[in-house]
A = this chain, B = another copy of it.
Amino acid sequence: MISRVLAADVPAHIGARIRVTGWTHRRRELKSVTFLVLRDRSGLVQVVLPQPVDVPEETVVQVEGVVIASDKAPGGAEITEPVVTLLSEPAQPPPFDLYRPNLSATLPTILDNAPVALRHPKMRAGFSITAASVAGYRAALDELGFTEVHTPKIVGTATESGANVFGIDYFGRRAYLAQSPQFFKQSLVGVFERVYEIGPVFRAEPHDTTRHLAQYTSLDAELGFISDHHDVMAVLREAVAGMVSAVRTRAAEAVDLLGIRLPEVPPVIPEIHFADALALVGADPAEPDLAPAHERALSEWAVREHGSEFLFVIGYPIRKRPFYTHPDPARPACSNSFDLLFRGVELVTGGQRLHKYSDYLAVLADPEPYRGYLDAYKHGMPPHGGFALGLERWTARLVDAPNIRQTTLFPRDLNRLSP
Q: List chain A positions with a Cβ less than 8 A from chain B.
A: 4, 21, 23-24, 40-41, 58-60, 87-92, 94, 113-116, 118-119, 124, 127-128, 130-131, 134-135, 138, 142, 145, 147-157, 166-171, 173, 175, 177, 184, 187-188, 190-194, 199-200, 202, 204, 206, 214-215, 217, 225, 355-358, 372-373, 375-383, 391, 409-410, 412, 414, 417-419
Contacts and interface: CB of A to CB of B under 8 A. Distances in A.
Contacts of A414: 171
Most interface-central of A60, A166, A417 (chain B CB within 10 A): A417
The A interface is mostly helix, strand or loop, or mixed, namely mixed
Contact of A116 (B4, B134, B379): B379
Contacts of A124: 191-192
Contact of A40 (B41, B155, B193): B193
Given A90-B380, A156-B417, A191-B119, A410 B151 contact: yes
A154 B91 contact: no
Given A192-B124, A418-B372, A145 B41 contact: yes
A190 B88 CA distance: 12
Q: How many of these chains are in the complex?
A: 2
A358 B155 CA distance: 42
Given A166-B168, A200-B199, A412-B152, A88 B355 contact: yes
A91 B135 contact: no
A215 B115 contact: no
B375 A417 contact: no
Given A115-B191, A130-B150, 17 more contacts: A41-B145, A41-B193, A87-B225, A87-B383, A88-B380, A113-B375, A118-B188, A127-B147, A150-B200, A150-B409, A152-B412, A153-B215, A156-B417, A171-B206, A184-B409, A187-B419, A188-B409
Contacts of A142: 135
Most interface-central of A89, A115, A391 (chain B CB within 10 A): A115
20 contacts: A59-B380, A87-B382, A89-B380, A90-B378, A90-B379, A91-B378, A92-B378, A113-B375, A114-B187, A115-B372, A118-B190, A118-B191, A150-B409, A153-B153, A153-B202, A154-B177, A154-B215, A166-B168, A167-B169, A170-B214
Contact of A375 (B116, B204, B225, B412): B116
Given A116-B379, A190-B116, A409-B188, A148 B168 contact: no
Contacts of A127: 147, 149, 191-192
A357 B375 CA distance: 53
Contacts of A170: 166, 214, 417
A147 B171 contact: no
Contacts of A153: 153, 200, 202, 215
Given A142-B135, A175-B417, A187 B115 contact: yes
A87 B381 CA distance: 9
